[in-house]
Chains A and B, each alone.
Chain A
Amino acid sequence: MPSGVERTFDEDEIIVTKTDTKGVLTYANRVFLRVSALTEAEAIGKPHSLIRHPEMPRAVFKLLWDSLKAREELFAYVVNLASDGAHYWVLAHVTPSLNEHGQVVGYHSSRRKPERAAVAAAQEVYGRLRAEERRHDNAKSALDASWAMLQSLLDQNGQTYDQFVWELTNASAV
């Protein structure tokens, strides 16, 4: 479980994973295995939630799956949990993989090293969403409450989540 130790990776590196349409890992690159402290055998065939960090709000994952179901890409700041308890922040770019007939055959995630300032801003928002989720004892109402809060936070700034992410990203010029 989380040790509070933060792990980083190089700016030139990309963390890459592929999953099938159910979110089961079918490919993980060397950088993923290293920062997640996993062997290939431990990762492949497991659900992607293997590296889910308890501080990630459910609302962000809902946004992720909503986007993918709509066959849209999503950029998100995400904190992941390594098997040894360390955590690492990424700027994830998640896209559906289409075959030659335009059918979704799986999902692809490329992740870059984020800037500190962007992580701090995302952390602030996620902290509030998680605090809201913790006030509910079942997953459904926790998600509903955190989803509503995310929407109202974005509405206050007149932004979509995509615009929020890109404002942080362009400001820190990744």
Chain B
Amino acid sequence: MIRRGRGGDAPEQPVGEALAQIARVCESAAAGDFEQRVPRIGEEADAERARDAVNSLLDVTDAFIRESGAALAAAAEGRFHRRFLTRGMRGAYRNAAEQISQSSGRMSEDAERVEQAAQARLQLADELESAVLTVSEQVATAATEMGSSANGLADFARNAVGSAEQGLTTVTQLRSSSDQIRRAVDLINAVAAQTRLLALNATIEAARAGEAGRGFSVVASEVKTLATETSASSEEILAQVNTVQHAAGDAVRVLEEVTASIREMSRLVDGIANAVDGGPGALEGQAGLAQLAEVLRGEVNRFVSTARQ
């Protein structure tokens, strides 16, 4: 028996006891307990070699188990910098270690892609929010301006209709005044005809009176001339009155058309105002432009906060 000098005062052990110790350690390891190692079982070179061989096997298996569990746990927690150390691992241990290391490398890349996608989503949400905010503010401003313009136009149309109606009244009055003038002229005409007849009689009577009635005959002739002129003037006045009445008729027709157009315009303007404000004249469930912009902003906010989760 070759005794080796280094270390220890391990007693000689029967071969059976040495094998039993190796068996106990291997059984523990097989049961998942890697804390046991083979103690000195003899001083022979073979005994030492057998002991070192079993312990080395346990050491590398122990290291592999500790590494693999911790490396995967780290990857699951997102600590991707913690890899599986392949150094010191050989053969199948090394191949498996490299596989685990590569897997956590791929998990790291996946996590990075997911993170990038999340960042892109957040950026998109920011951009969407800012764009919608701007648009809805602009729509709200435009709605306010359109509402106030529509209200101004409606007021303007009401005023125009009022003015046109006033004009219609004035022209109607002008027409009835013309009728009165016509009656007055008719009366004048009748008086002039009567006067001409009287002048004729006066001329006949003056002729019968001879020399004494000559002066009176001149007067009667003058009166006749006057009545004729009066009659001619009346005809002229009647022609003028007819022209005025005709013009007044045209004016009434035009004013009625203008009033109808303005009333139609007023109705259209009310439609615009309702679309903008969602006013009382709006259809059931129809919101105004400003409300729609507010609803849009609310929906986008909801969407954006979901995207940010």
- B82 to chain A: which residues have CB within 8 Å? 75, 162, 166
Q: Is A36 an interface residue (CB 8 A)?
A: no
Q: Identify which of residues 60-82 in chain B touch chain A, using a CB-to-CB cut-off of 8 Å.
A: 60, 62-63, 66-67, 70, 79, 81-82
Q: Is B196 an interface residue (CB 8 A)?
A: no
Q: Is B224 an interface residue (CB 8 A)?
A: no
- B83 to chain A: which residues have CB within 8 Å? 166, 169-170
Q: Is A18 an interface residue (CB 8 A)?
A: yes
Binds A, one of B85-93, B139-147, B244-252: B85-93
Q: Is B35 an interface residue (CB 8 A)?
A: yes
B5 (CB) vs chain A CBs: closest residue:
A39
Q: Is A84 an interface residue (CB 8 A)?
A: no
Cβ A95 vs Cβ B70 within 8 A: yes
Cβ A42 vs Cβ B7 within 8 A: yes
The size class of the interface chain B forms with chain A is 20 to 34
- A27 to chain B: which residues have CB within 8 Å? 37, 55
Docked pose: A40 CA to B7 CA in angstroms: 6
- B86 to chain A: which residues have CB within 8 Å? 174
Docked pose: A91 CA to B86 CA in angstroms: 12
Per the CB 8 Å criterion, the residue count for chain A at the interface is 34
Contact A30:B56 (CB < 8 A) given known A40-B40, A170-B83: yes
Cβ A163 vs Cβ B81 within 8 A: yes
Interface code A140-152, partner B: CB below 8 Å = 1, 0 otherwise? 0000000000000
Interface code A78-122, partner B: CB below 8 Å = 1, 0 otherwise? 000000000000010101010110000110101011000000000
A98 (CB) vs chain B CBs: closest residue:
B35
Contact A167:B85 (CB < 8 A) given known A14-B59, A97-B35: no
Q: Is A6 an interface residue (CB 8 A)?
A: no
Docked pose: A170 CA to B90 CA in angstroms: 19
- A11 to chain B: which residues have CB within 8 Å? 87-88
Cβ B7 vs Cβ A169 within 8 A: no
Docked pose: A40 CA to B82 CA in angstroms: 33
Q: Is B302 an interface residue (CB 8 A)?
A: no
Q: Is A21 an interface residue (CB 8 A)?
A: no
> B-side interface residues toward A, CB under 8 Å?
6-9, 32-35, 37, 40, 52, 55-56, 59-60, 62-63, 66-67, 70, 79, 81-83, 85-88, 90
> A-side interface residues toward B, CB under 8 Å?
11-14, 16, 18, 27, 29-30, 39-42, 73, 75, 91, 93, 95, 97, 99-100, 105-106, 108, 110, 112-113, 162-163, 166-167, 169-170, 174
